[in-house]
């Protein structure tokens, strides 16, 4: 089985971020968005996206068309569309490549989404650190305004759409949709309780749809080729293709587009060229650092779709596959991740603010061979108190690597217990 | 950076947290930044939403978010100082102190660490003669770590002054990057 290049189809066209190249040499050249805006009813667009089964590509995997359907009808407030380009899940780098190499396909997808939602103001919230992505996307937006694909009366219709890049400023938590909304409003990026969901009460108190970059970039293909063709790839419950970012101890790390349902072992050993010479597979994180780690044995049985990875006790998440070979010290690796979550906790909720720091301290005790046997139970107790007890899922996310690493690689942690 | 920690204070002058006018009278955006500001503002229904983009521009122009600059931005957006300070304290990129001429940030998160980021950091500390978080005495280099910079496929990576990423790093590449920083 090989890569399937649908999302990636323009990545190797030189200067595809230049609108004249995008129009003349690339799919979809804004022709799809123009046809949608000129000939389709907004509700028909939403129905089509629902029928396609497209699921959010940011990490939660929630059906996109269903999410759109939550926006109340006949409401006297503007509807906002936010492209969540705050890619920050460790191991993930697909959205950055979309923005740098093919921003126009993403913008075309945003036009389609905005039209379906009756939205006239869209934001692309991009990680502040991603300077080239910010430049390319804002440049692409400016080119669209110049051609009349954005602004007043796009494509010569009566549909207005404004769009602007809004930079983040260095906070992982702003990838959480309500944290992002807070940040976009000019505040600290602290998440909010759901319900109310953003589709009902979002940014500026108005209905808001927050979609991941890859999700939006998936739309032109679906609108151009239809549901049946889209569903030819992937599985029944996880249709389509997805970008997987592979990193760590493989010969050919990078972004790979494969149909959902692709065997993980083929991804690692065929597409990614296998492990380094003389090494064996030890562990795989299948969906970004917030997904529980899998042992090599568990990983090799999985296919890359939401259901198979969930059945293995983990999550497809952002599709960030981190490969660890037998040279990896799992205590050291976990300490790296626990520090990440301790840094990134927004501080609102006591279980997370205190728990991420406390877990990090204990795991570093293990790293220094200073842990006690009682620290195992203490860690699990902290994990339990951090799960389902907070405003957002960062707390639960921080727990995932801790529980899975300590449980599945317990012998390594036991070796780091303090010898009296 | 620990988001929950509580850094600094800024004198509020006479206005006790309301919009201040005092120190900022002499500061102004460059013509280009002002053009950008006027064009950007109508895309938000609320001036407060323009805070982070405006702070980025101010940081870029003035080099640091000093007390004067904070007052300038607060005035421009008609926001209380306390709100501006809260936002600055929360986000890692919004620096209150001036950085070295070259602000070198090495990604420390797992995928980069698996590919040797720690060795690169140790090498940089030794070569520059400073620890993480410090600036060289001549003011040329500040060294720090960043969390995942979304380039795990070309790990390890670093970023200088938030420009393009330097990827697929080795000790030799790092040395030649430093040599180009005059």
Give the residue among A369, A400, A156 at the shortest CA–CA distance from A293. A400
Listing from the earlier edge strand, what are the strands of the sheet with A162-167? A162-167, A121-126, A80-85, A208-212
B22 part of contact set with chain A, CB < 8 Å? no
Q: Tell me the pLDDT tens digit for each residue of A49-86.
A: 999 999 999 998 999 999 999 999 988 999 999 999 99
Angle at A306 between CA A300 and CA A310, to 5 degrees: 65
Residue A17 has pLDDT above 50, yes or no: yes
User: For residue A378, is it left (φ>0), alpha (ψ between -120 and 50) or beta?
Assistant: alpha
Confidence of residue B23 (pLDDT cuts 50, 70, 90): low
Residue B16 has pLDDT above 70, yes or no: no
Residue A191 has pLDDT above 50, yes or no: yes
Q: Tell me the pLDDT tens digit for each residue of A194-216.
A: 999 999 999 999 999 999 999 99
Identify the residue among B52, B88, B117 best suited for mutation to test binding to A, counting A beta carbons within 10 A and taking the highest: B52
Residue A420 has pLDDT above 80, yes or no: no
Calpha distance B99→A254 (Å, rounded): 33
Residue A323 has pLDDT above 50, yes or no: yes
User: Residue B40 and residue A164: Cβ atoms within 8 Å?
Assistant: yes
Q: Tell me the pLDDT tens digit for each residue of B89-148.
A: 999 999 999 999 999 999 999 999 999 999 999 999 999 999 999 999 999 999 999 999
pTM above 0.80, yes or no: yes
User: Residue B56 and residue A167: Cβ atoms within 8 Å?
Assistant: yes
Residue A304 has pLDDT above 70, yes or no: yes
Measured CA distances, A343 to A303, B82, B150 (Å)? 33, 23, 17
Residue B2 has pLDDT above 80, yes or no: no
A257 DSSP β-pair partners: A243
Residue B36 has pLDDT above 70, yes or no: yes
Residues 6+ apart with CB under 8 A from A401: A285, A289, A290, A292, A293, A334, A337, A338
Q: Which residues in chain B (57-86) have CB-CB distances under 8 A to chain A?
A: 79, 83, 86
Q: Tell me the pLDDT tens digit for each residue of A341-364.
A: 999 999 999 999 999 999 999 999
User: Residue A166 and residue B53: Cβ atoms within 8 Å?
Assistant: yes
Confidence of residue B24 (pLDDT cuts 50, 70, 90): low
Chain-centre distance for alpha carbon A171? 15
User: Residue B147 and residue A173: Cβ atoms within 8 Å?
Assistant: no
User: Residue B147 and residue A172: Cβ atoms within 8 Å?
Assistant: yes
User: For residue A105, is it left (φ>0), alpha (ψ between -120 and 50) or beta?
Assistant: alpha
Quote the ipTM score: 0.95
Calpha distance B151→B171 (Å, rounded): 18
Residue A412 has pLDDT above 50, yes or no: yes
Calpha distance B160→B72 (Å, rounded): 27
- For residue B133, count other CB atoms closer than 10 A to its CB: 10
- Among the partner residues B4, B87, B94, nearest to A345 by beta-carbon distance: B4
Angle at B53 between CA B60 and CA A159, to 5 degrees: 140
User: Residue A342 and residue B43: Cβ atoms within 8 Å?
Assistant: no
Chain B residues with CB under 8 Å of A123 CB are 43
Average pLDDT, stretch A271-286? 97
Helix (H) or strand (E) holding A95: helix A94-101
Angle at A396 between CA A391 and CA A400, to 5 degrees: 170
B97 part of contact set with chain A, CB < 8 Å? no
């Amino acid at each position: 089985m090989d890569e399937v290049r649908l999302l990636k189809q323009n990545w190797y066209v030189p200067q595809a971020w230049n609108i004249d190249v995008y129009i003349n040499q690339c799919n979809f050249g804004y022709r799809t968005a123009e046809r949608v805006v000129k000939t389709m009813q907004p509700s028909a667009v939403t129905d089509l996206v629902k029928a396609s089964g497209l699921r959010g590509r940011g990490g939660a995997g929630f059906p996109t068309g269903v999410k759109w359907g939550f926006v109340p009808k006949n409401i006297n407030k503007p509807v906002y569309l936010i492209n969540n380009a705050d890619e920050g899940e460790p191991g993930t780098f697909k959205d950055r490549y979309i923005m740098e190499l093919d921003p126009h396909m993403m913008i075309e997808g945003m036009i389609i989404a905005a039209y379906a939602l009756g939205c006239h103001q869209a934001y692309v919230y991009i990680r502040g650190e991603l300077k080239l992505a910010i430049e390319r996307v804002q440049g692409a937006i400016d080119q669209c305004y110049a051609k009349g694909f954005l602004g007043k009366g796009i494509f010569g219709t009566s549909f207005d759409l404004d769009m602007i890049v809004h930079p983040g400023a260095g906070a992982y938590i702003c990838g959480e949709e309500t944290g992002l909304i807070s940040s976009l409003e000019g505040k600290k990026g602290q998440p909010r309780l759901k319900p109310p969901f953003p589709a009902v009460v979002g940014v500026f108190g108005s209905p808001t749809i927050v979609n991941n970059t890859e999700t939006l970039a998936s739309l032109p293909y679906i609108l151009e080729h239809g549901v049946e063709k889209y569903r030819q790839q992937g599985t029944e419950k996880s249709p389509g293709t997805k970008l997987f970012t592979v990193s760590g101890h493989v010969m050919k790390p990078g972004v790979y587009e494969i149909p959902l349902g692709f065997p993980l072992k083929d991804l690692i050993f065929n597409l990614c060229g296998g492990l380094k010479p003389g090494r064996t597979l030890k562990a795989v994180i299948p969906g970004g650092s917030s997904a529980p780690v899998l042992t090599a044995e568990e990983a090799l049985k999985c296919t890359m779709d939401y259901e198979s990875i969930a059945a293995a006790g983990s999550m497809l998440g952002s599709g960030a596959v981190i490969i660890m070979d037998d040279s990896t010290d799992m205590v050291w690796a976990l300490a790296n991740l626990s520090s990440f979550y301790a840094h990134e906790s927004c501080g609102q909720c006591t279980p997370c603010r205190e728990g991420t720091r406390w877990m990090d301290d204990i795991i570093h005790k293990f790293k220094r061979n200073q842990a006690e046997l009682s620290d195992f139970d203490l860690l699990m107790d902290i994990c339990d108190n951090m799960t389902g007890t907070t405003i957002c899922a960062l707390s639960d996310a921080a727990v995932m690597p801790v529980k899975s690493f300590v449980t599945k690689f317990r012998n390594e942690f036991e070796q780091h217990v303090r010898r009296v | 950076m620990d988001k929950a920690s509580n850094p600094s204070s800024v004198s509020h002058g006479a206005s006790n947290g309301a919009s201040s006018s005092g120190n900022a009278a002499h500061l102004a955006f460059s013509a280009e930044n002002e053009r950008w500001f006027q064009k950007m503002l109508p895309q938000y229904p609320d001036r407060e939403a323009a805070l982070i983009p405006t702070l980025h521009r101010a940081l870029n122009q003035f080099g640091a978010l000093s007390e004067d600059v904070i007052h300038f931005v607060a005035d421009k957006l008609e926001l209380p100082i306390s709100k501006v300070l809260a936002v600055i304290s929360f986000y890692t990129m919004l620096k209150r102190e001036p950085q070295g001429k070259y602000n070198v940030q090495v990604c420390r998160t797992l995928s980069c660490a698996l590919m040797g980021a720690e060795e690169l950091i140790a090498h940089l500390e030794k070569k520059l003669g400073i620890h993480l978080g410090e600036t060289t005495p001549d003011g040329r280099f500040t060294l720090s770590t960043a969390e995942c910079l979304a380039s795990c496929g070309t790990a390890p990576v670093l970023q200088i002054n938030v420009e393009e990423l330097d990827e697929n790093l080795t000790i030799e590449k790092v040395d030649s990057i430093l040599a180009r920083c005059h």
